[in-house]
Amino acid sequence: MKLLEYEAKEIAKKYGIPIPQGILIERPEQVNEAIEELGLPVVLKAQVPVAGRGKAGGVKLAKDPDEALEKAEQLFSMEIKGYPVLSVLVEKAENIKRELYLSFTIDRANRRIIMLASGEGGMEIEELAKEKPEAIIKLPIEPEIGLKAHEAREVGKKIGLSGNDLRQFEHIAKSMYKIFIDYDAELVESNPLAITDRGLVALDFRMIVDDNAIFRHPELEAARERELTETEKVAIRYGFFYVELDGDIGIIGNGAGLTMATMDVVNYYGGKPPNFLDIGVGARRDRVKAAVRLLLRNPRVKVIFVNIFGGITLASEVALGIVEALKETEIKKPIVARIVGTAEEEGKKILQEAGIPLFESMDEAAKEAVRIAKEVAA
Amino acid sequence: MVVLVDENTKVVVQGITGRYGKFHAEKMMKYGTKILAGVTPGKGGQEVLGVPVFDTVKEAKEKFPEINTSIIFVPAAGAADAIIEAVDAGLELIVVITEGIPVHDSLKAIRYARNKGSVVVGPNCPGVITPGKAKVGIMPEKYFTPGPVGIVSRSGTLTYEIAYQLTKRGIGQTTAIGIGGDPIIGLDTVEAVKLMDQDPETQVIVVIGEIGGDAEERLAAAIKRGEIRKPVVAYVAGRTAPPGKRMGHAGAIISMGAGTAESKVRAFREAGVPVADIPSQVPDLVEQVLKK
């Protein structure tokens, strides 16, 4: 779950990391009050939970009040990678001498936490990683000891810091590592971490917190809700996983791997799914019913393809869920099903009686779904 | 010989009194897996499915010194503690079915297990099955049959699908290992494939990957270096899945462009590994390799 910049910065501040003075606004005209308090020039930053905000035009500098209002209005009318801008962080512009990069994340392959630092921070950091990997210093961290002060300092020297900047870098790195541990983070990142007139300042600060650890951080629940579309919220309520896409063949599968494979098969035969819908492990009829209704109501969906491999999930429960959803909704759409596994015979019987075409292989079912989608479209 | 589990596997079930743990303990027993004991804190002295329940894994191990394997069904918040407990009792293999374990917990517990020499499979995995001999997991067993193919998979239901398609074609399996879908897992793709490579009965290894992480790329590199002798056939799920809505750059910097289906498929092809476009092509590719 991604925190917004201002939320992450509140945490940074609590841990003693220098950040620019800033005020969050929720309407463009509030920018004037912010300027009165902060002074000019200011930086206006759209609060959206995505990377690449700067490149997408979500960060703007303003030198006078008119320009600030105009740019605030622009930002509030924007949508960045699917997220409408609902709030803007107004910050006092800092005098930047140099931009650094510093982050902590999990190195999956080596099963450990790793610190990444570079003397060349800024928007092009991923390009830098590809073209000049030696410019990014990687420091693996021993979990029993945590970030070692002297190693943080050594990294600081490697990226060209000395004197007070070096001492401050060590302090910021230690604070970021502490945040990483305390908040069950998957990422804590400052890009850029700038050298300014008043020393090192985290101009940007981002955090991703592990969704599985939310039970230890109930205060962050609201942040998770915000990342979801309305339909995705319905999905969470019923306990399935749902991602919206473009396309017209609605797919319901069980298990992420099988659902992704079902999408691959539909694509292979020339179709296009409008969603990823995984009913998860051991789904009962209510969950299946909610899933089918969701796809029936989606105007893009022309045909629904249900592909279930029952292990813990009972095919009969899935079949009952489908049939009940069809009975209770006015909207009629063709359904193609392929059901294998636990309680397979019973499930097939229920679907046959409801007149739903059944297929033995997912390939045959996918071909039929593609054929129907083309027929309905024509 | 077979991989990880066989008729000599002696199991303790951690979380045996829960609905889920009990259900699967019974199915494993019916399959012939030797389950000697269960553990549920506070329920020591009870009996479930005819086996004694203990408060700690250590007590179970004292009573039955032949126990060498644990399967964990403990809820997410306590699962890391359960792993550490199994490690301290000296168990060789720990299969973790539980999903939703916080990644920081997995990091600690799995690192601890590796330092002490226990093999962890999972978390968030379907377990391990050696068809006809033993099942330490939750997979629907009837789709698995004995034969020459080893399966290593990051997915659950997709493993069943591919085993089913192989079995329908008359191609059985030595062992299928579901290594789990979490960012931090114990036995990883490369390690699991190396176990299969050393198994004299396994003739072909089927690797079922999916988008995210760089496990498939690392396997392809190991194959290129000649570390794996046996033929490998792969399928990567998620070629048409949406790119994750992500934030921050650190993940991309670490994986250096790995993680996409294209990257994985390209890495496999460059290592000479045939890659199926869709699951139904896997049996064809396996048959071609077996004929050679």
For chain B, domain boundaries:
10-121, 127-291
Q: Tell me which architecture the domain covering B10-121 has in CATH.
A: 3-Layer(aba) Sandwich (3.40)
Contact A205, A103 (CB under 8 A): no
Helix (H) or strand (E) holding B289: helix B281-291
**Could you tell me which CATH class the domain A1-19+95-224 is placed in?**
alpha beta
Q: Which residue of A has its CA nearest to B256?
A: A130
> What does each C-alpha distance from A17 to A190, A204, B97, B180, B248 come to in angstroms?
10, 11, 40, 37, 19
Average pLDDT, chain A: 91
* Structure-token pair, residue A101: 């990069």
Q: Which residue of B has its CA nearest to A49?
A: B247
Check whether B249 has a pLDDT greater than 70. Answer: no
Taking residues B223-239, report their average pLDDT: 96
For chain A, domain boundaries:
1-19+95-224, 21-93, 228-377
Distance from CA of A66 to the nearest CA of B (A): 32
Taking residues B41-45, report their average pLDDT: 97
Contact A102, A193 (CB under 8 A): yes
| Nearest alpha-carbon partner for A190 in A211, A209, A169 | A169
Distance from CA of B284 to the nearest CA of A (A): 14
> What does each C-alpha distance from A348 to A182, A372, B258 come to in angstroms?
50, 21, 41
Task: Give the Cα separation of B95 and B111 in Å (integer).
Answer: 15
| Nearest alpha-carbon partner for A99 in A191, A13, A20 | A191
Chain A residues touching residue B242 (CB < 8 angstroms): 243, 245, 276
Question: Which of A4, A80, A103, A106 should we substitute to test contact with B (largest number of B Cβ atoms within 10 Å)?
Answer: A106
Q: Choosing from A189, A238, A242, A317, which is the catalytic residue?
A: A189
CATH 3.30.1490.20 fits domain A21-93: yes
If one compares A260 and B57, the residue with the highest pLDDT of the two is B57
DSSP state of B277: S
Of A208, A215, A227, the CB nearest to B248: A208
Chain A residues touching residue B99 (CB < 8 angstroms): 281
The CATH fold assigned to B127-291 is Rossmann fold (3.40.50)
CB contact under 8 A, B103 and A133: no
Q: What is the pLDDT of residues B118-150, one digit of tens each?
A: 999 999 999 999 999 999 999 999 999 999 999
If one compares A52 and B47, the residue with the highest pLDDT of the two is B47
Residue A353 burial (C-beta neighbours within 10 Å; 0-12, 13-18, 19+): exposed
CB contact under 8 A, A255 and B110: no
Helix (H) or strand (E) holding A279: none
Per DSSP, helices labelled H in chain A are 5-14, 31-38, 65-76, 125-131, 149-158, 163-182, 221-226, 230-238, 256-268, 285-297, 315-328, 344-353, 362-377
Q: Evaluate the omega torsion of the peptide bond into residue B274 and state whether it is cis, within 30 degrees of 0.
A: no
Check whether B115 has a pLDDT greater than 50. Answer: yes
Chain A residues touching residue B183 (CB < 8 angstroms): 106, 108, 186
Give me the pLDDT at residue A67, please: 97
Which positions of B are catalytic? Answer: 249
Beta-bridged to residue A275, according to DSSP, are A244
* Structure-token pair, residue B282: 């896997």
In percent, the amount of chain A with pLDDT more than 70 equals 98
Matching residue, tokens 């490579």 = B197
Q: Which residue of A has its CA nearest to B217?
A: A109
Query: Residue A343, SS3?
Result: coil
Q: What is the pLDDT of residues A295-331, one digit of tens each?
A: 998 888 999 999 999 887 889 999 999 999 999 888 8
> What does each C-alpha distance from A164 to A13, A48, A153, B154 come to in angstroms?
19, 33, 11, 48
Q: What is the pLDDT of residues A107-140, one digit of tens each?
A: 988 999 999 999 998 877 778 888 888 889 999 9
The question of whether A238 is a catalytic residue gets the answer: no
Query: Residue A265, SS3?
Result: helix
Chain A residues touching residue B213 (CB < 8 angstroms): 108-109
Query: Residue A20, SS3?
Result: coil
Check whether B32 has a pLDDT greater than 80. Answer: yes
Determine the number of helices (DSSP H) and then strands (DSSP E) in chain A: 13, 17
Contact A11, A35 (CB under 8 A): no
B246 pLDDT tier (thresholds 50, 70, 90): very low
CATH number of A228-377: 3.40.50.261
Task: Give the Cα separation of B128 and B11 in Å (integer).
Answer: 13
Beta-bridged to residue A60, according to DSSP, are A44
Give me the pLDDT at residue B1, please: 46
Q: How would you classify residue B203: left for phi > 0, otherwise alpha for psi between -120 and 50, otherwise beta?
A: alpha
Query: How far apart, in Å, do the first and last CA atoms of chain B sit?
Result: 23
Give me the pLDDT at residue B256, please: 55
B245 pLDDT tier (thresholds 50, 70, 90): very low
Taking residues A65-87, report their average pLDDT: 93
Give me the pLDDT at residue B258, please: 66
Q: Say whether pTM exceeds 0.90.
A: yes
Domain B10-121 and domain B127-291 have a common topology: yes
Q: What is the pLDDT of residues A227-258, one digit of tens each?
A: 666 777 777 788 788 877 778 899 999 988 89
DSSP-based helix, strand, coil % in chain A, nearest 5: 45, 25, 30
Contact A155, A139 (CB under 8 A): yes
ipTM of the complex: 0.90
Q: Count of CB atoms within 10 A of residue B194's CB?
A: 18
Distance from CA of A305 to the nearest CA of B (A): 16
Q: Which residue of A has its CA nearest to B106?
A: A111
Task: Give the Cα separation of B25 and B73 in Å (integer).
Answer: 10
> What does each C-alpha distance from A301 to A129, A186, A235, B154 come to in angstroms?
41, 35, 17, 30
Task: Give the Cα separation of A282 and A317 in Å (integer).
Answer: 9
Contact B277, A264 (CB under 8 A): yes
Taking residues A75-86, report their average pLDDT: 90
Give me the pLDDT at residue A49, please: 84
Question: Which of B28, B104, B211 should we substitute to test contact with A (largest number of A Cβ atoms within 10 Å)?
Answer: B104
Give me the pLDDT at residue A321, please: 94
Chain B residues touching residue A367 (CB < 8 angstroms): none
Give me the pLDDT at residue B254, please: 58
> What does each C-alpha distance from A150 to A16, A154, A169, A173, B218 come to in angstroms?
19, 6, 11, 11, 32
Q: Which residue of A has its CA nearest to B280?
A: A363
In percent, the amount of chain A with pLDDT more than 90 equals 69
CB contact under 8 A, A258 and B158: yes
Question: Which of B157, B219, B265, B282 should we substitute to test contact with A (largest number of A Cβ atoms within 10 Å)?
Answer: B157
Angle at B85 between CA B82 and CA B91, to 5 degrees: 110
Task: Give the Cα separation of B289 and B272 in Å (integer).
Answer: 12
Contact B177, B128 (CB under 8 A): yes
Give me the pLDDT at residue B242, please: 64
Task: Give the Cα separation of B46 and B50 in Å (integer).
Answer: 10
- What stretches of B156-229 adopt beta strand conformation (E)? 173-178, 204-210
| Nearest alpha-carbon partner for B95 in B22, B13, B215, B25 | B13
Which sign does the torsion angle of CA A106, A107, A113, A119 carry? negative
| Nearest alpha-carbon partner for A266 in A255, A279, A275 | A275
B243 pLDDT tier (thresholds 50, 70, 90): low
Q: Count of CB atoms within 10 A of residue B252's CB?
A: 17
If one compares A330 and B198, the residue with the highest pLDDT of the two is B198
Matching residue, tokens 């499930």 = A347
Q: Choosing from A6, A101, A238, A242, which is the catalytic residue?
A: A101
